[in-house]
Chain A
């Protein structure tokens, strides 16, 4: 049974009804599988970073690139609506960044990532970060071919975001509570409550508090990346 030749389609006996039973995103999922195989063949760990706009994805990447130094070779696929600003910030750190300008699109899909990968030589890379479009709704529905989803929840957003955007946070393999340096002045963000909301959607993902600005908590995140990358090398 496959999705391409039509052999999964069985005509019904009467009234020209055809049972299909195929996911609506089958074409995207097929291309995502292809991307994932491409990453895996090159022993590259692919991480999809998702968050609302302004949660600090690019700042986290800048700090991560700096801290990892020469430990791991990093490349970034940047989804940005109209500008190359984020990609330029990454390039300044000395790592390749492929820009996907999504225009008004609200998410990346596997096809866009496939195109970006044409411009990236994976032989020289250990970890690819895909910085998704800042949006807590749409990106959750589209598999890009990543191995791991990381969702960022910044402290000014409020600790109940996982309850408001359950589809996104259910898909997360790791949740980073970013801008943790603000916890001391924000009395309405409780990391324990945030963890409670993640468990309420039956997600066992670990949560780490990190501040790209002060470097606090970055070690746990970096160890996690090293461990995940090591298990794939």
Chain B
């Protein structure tokens, strides 16, 4: 259950963004999570209220965007959407593929509430 540690890191980043922009609240947080990041989206969602309690993100909503796993085949050049434990090319079956997406764990966007000018 490392999702709490990941969520605490997220809150740290969101707090920095809010402070840099002189915001006193945060309303929405957008994160993309790929299955190969090693972080389970539902567990991250569950950990969020615990990590956010007492912080500037206390009332924020966490939006998780699950990115698909896509690979590029080094042999035939095809691109396929695949399962996390089968990263082989769907066209020719070769295992020599490179990952195009699916391992992201990225803070995309923060929507701030009140800005103190």
* Residues of chain A having any CB pair with chain B under 8 Å: 6, 9, 11-12, 15-28, 105-107, 109, 137-138, 140-142, 162-164, 166-168, 170, 197, 199-202, 204
Contacts and interface: CB of A to CB of B under 8 A. Distances in A.
B36 A167 contact: yes
Contact of A20 (B13, B38, B87): B13
A202 B95 contact: yes
B9 interface: yes
A84 to B, nearest CB: 23
Nearest to A15: B111
Interface of B: 1-2, 5-6, 9-10, 12-13, 16-17, 20-21, 23, 31, 36-39, 71, 84-88, 95-99, 105-113, 115
A19 B109 contact: yes
A199 B96 CA distance: 8
Contact of A137 (B12, B13, B36, B38): B38
A192 to B, nearest CB: 14
19 contacts: A6-B16, A9-B20, A12-B109, A18-B110, A18-B111, A20-B110, A22-B13, A23-B105, A24-B9, A26-B13, A137-B38, A140-B38, A141-B2, A197-B85, A200-B86, A200-B87, A200-B95, A201-B87, A202-B71
B38 A27 contact: no
Contacts of B110: 17-18, 20
Nearest to B106: A23
Given A18-B17, A202-B96, A204-B96, A141 B85 contact: no
A16 B107 contact: no
Nearest to B87: A202
Contact of A109 (B5, B21, B85, B105): B5
Pick from A21, A137, A142, A167 the residue with the most CB of B within 10 Å: A167
Contacts of A26: 9, 13
